[in-house]
Homo-oligomer: A and B are copies of this chain.
Amino acid sequence: MTTRRELLAALRRAVGEGAVVWRPEELATYEFDGTVERSVPHAVVLPESADEVQAVVRACTELGVPVTPRGAGTGLSGGSVPAKRGVVVSTARMRRILEIDPVDRVAVVEPGVANLELSRQAAKYGLFYAPDPSSQAACTIGGNVAENAGGPHCLALGVTQNFVLGLEVVTAAGELRWLGGRAPDPFGFDLRGAFIGSEGTLGIATKVIVRLLPVPPAVVTLLAAFPTVGQACEAVSSIIARGIIPAAMEMMDRLCIEAVEARFRVGYPPGAGAVLLVELDGLEGQVEAEAGRVRAECLEHGASEVRTAQGEEERALLWRGRKGAIPALGQLAPNYYIVDGVVPRSRLAAVMERVGEISARSGLRIANVFHAGDGNLHPLILFDEREPGAAARVLETAAAIMRVCVEEGGTLSGEHGIGAEKREFMPWLFSEADLENMARLRQVFGADAGLFNPCKVFPGGTGCGEMARHAGAVRAAGPDAYV
């Protein structure tokens, strides 16, 4: 057994005194992400270079101490919670944008760069980074890579997978390797693709090469109010069936609309059963033509009102409601828990109905705010942790929703990952043999499942039952969670 003293000494040798966090009161910050899991690490390191990351991983491997990588800790599946304690490797000090190449539209960044910061810097060249999780002001590119993060604007453009060209990584075995490169078309075995979305279980990205896109010259944002979620869902299917792929297509249900109005007063129509936010972008002329068609589809499917944002200010206001939906819902109850599931777009209305039934049965209020265009649900369960057995009931309810998603031909995650929370559901979709085959990818990176971000993605694992489940984690951790 390694003593705490030995561990800290080894870490100090790896990254220097000033980059090792060990005081209990400081470690508490690293106990959480945006979920209900929690576990305090023994130490946190803040390396500033790939060499330092490598030194830390090697030191921990030698000592047999678990390692858990961490970006901004905004994750929603427990991926960065150190399930078996040990050492958290934070990329918070690796936040340099190393290069923006406006001609080839490529950026090279360190993993700790915040998603929105990259788009801000790229804006100087008329470019932006497309995947836009709602947490984009805080969440990091490295964390986005780990979770294959999405966002409202990924409907037309695709998720992180489609925008990361190359990765420099320190593998779980402590080796420094390049996966992919700067070119748009991968060739050879595509380990870049396999690493993206591996939820920090195979290694730590130390450099990320991403593709940037030109900021579209014209944007139109529409808000459509419907009497029911079902009608709004039909409008969504119909818009897509017409060959229009909006930049974003986001939906909120009645409970969500009320919460947003109470907090932000963005002017969502009172009494609406569903609000659909549609954004179109592209060339001038083109977007206006599309907007006309979207409006017509919405009205045809029973919209009581379709409003087009007049100018940037109104557009920002409409989006503020969507982006602030989770914090607004947070006002309705002491605690909340966010579910992430995907269903075929054609099953959206039916699934929403079944989620409503689950809510009624469980006695827990469930609000819905989601990426309607790609069938990515985010039911948000409201509860009060002080009620006895609340946390367990919430997790049961979340499991029931996941079950419905799978029954309706959907899957377990659209963008938040499997993490610690949904790994026991993996056998609903994959046979044991398929899971074993998948898990073998660890061998490529020399990843010891018991030591490198243990207890994530795959079911089982020794010593994985130890994580505390604190239903109030989201609120207690400070900042609002995001979807």
A residues touching B (Cβ–Cβ < 8 Å)? 103-104, 148, 150, 158-159, 161-162, 171, 175, 177-179, 181-191, 193-194, 196-198, 214, 216-217, 241, 243-244, 282-283, 285-286, 289-290, 293, 342, 344-346, 374-376, 409-415, 417-418, 426, 429-431, 433-435, 437-441, 443-445, 457
How distant is the Cα of A140 from the Cα of B420 in the complex, in angstroms?
A: 40
Specify which chain B residues have a CB less than 8 angstroms from the CB of A150 in the assembled complex.
185
Q: Per a CB cutoff under 8 Å, which of B185, B293, B429, B443 touches A443? A: B443
Give the copy number.
2
Q: Which chain B residue lies CB-closest to A415? A: B185
How distant is the Cα of A345 from the Cα of B293 in the complex, in angstroms?
A: 35
Main secondary structure of the interface of A (DSSP, over half): loop
Q: Per a CB cutoff under 8 Å, which of B183, B184, B185, B374 touches A185? A: B374
Asked if A429 and B161 make an inter-chain contact with CB atoms under 8 angstroms apart, the answer reads no
Q: Per a CB cutoff under 8 Å, which of B183, B283, B410 touches A183? A: B410
5 additional A-B pairs beyond A194-B194, A285-B285, beta carbons within 8 Å, are A181-B429, A182-B409, A184-B374, A185-B413, A216-B243
Tell me the minimal C-beta distance from A153 to chain B in angstroms: 15
Asked if B438 and A440 make an inter-chain contact with CB atoms under 8 angstroms apart, the answer reads no
Contact flag A418-B187 (CB < 8 Å), given A283-B243, A289-B285:
yes
Tell me the minimal C-beta distance from A246 to chain B in angstroms: 12
How distant is the Cα of A434 from the Cα of B175 in the complex, in angstroms?
A: 10
Asked if B412 and A187 make an inter-chain contact with CB atoms under 8 angstroms apart, the answer reads yes
Asked if A190 and B194 make an inter-chain contact with CB atoms under 8 angstroms apart, the answer reads yes
Tell me the minimal C-beta distance from A170 to chain B in angstroms: 12
Tell me the minimal C-beta distance from A356 to chain B in angstroms: 23
Asked if B198 and A189 make an inter-chain contact with CB atoms under 8 angstroms apart, the answer reads yes
Specify which chain B residues have a CB less than 8 angstroms from the CB of A159 in the assembled complex.
185
How distant is the Cα of A198 from the Cα of B186 in the complex, in angstroms?
A: 10
Asked if B443 and A187 make an inter-chain contact with CB atoms under 8 angstroms apart, the answer reads no
- Can you list 17 A-B contacts with CB-CB less than 8 angstroms, sorted by A residue number? A104-B345, A148-B187, A159-B185, A181-B411, A183-B342, A188-B197, A188-B438, A188-B457, A189-B197, A190-B193, A190-B196, A191-B441, A194-B194, A243-B282, A243-B283, A441-B441, A443-B444
Asked if A441 and B444 make an inter-chain contact with CB atoms under 8 angstroms apart, the answer reads yes
Tell me the minimal C-beta distance from A263 to chain B in angstroms: 30
Specify which chain B residues have a CB less than 8 angstroms from the CB of A441 in the assembled complex.
189, 191, 194, 441, 444
Q: Per a CB cutoff under 8 Å, which of B103, B183, B444 touches A440? A: B444
Specify which chain B residues have a CB less than 8 angstroms from the CB of A415 in the assembled complex.
185
Asked if B161 and A193 make an inter-chain contact with CB atoms under 8 angstroms apart, the answer reads yes
A150, A171, A186, A410, most chain B CB atoms within 10 A: A186
Contact flag A178-B289 (CB < 8 Å), given A194-B193, A426-B188:
no
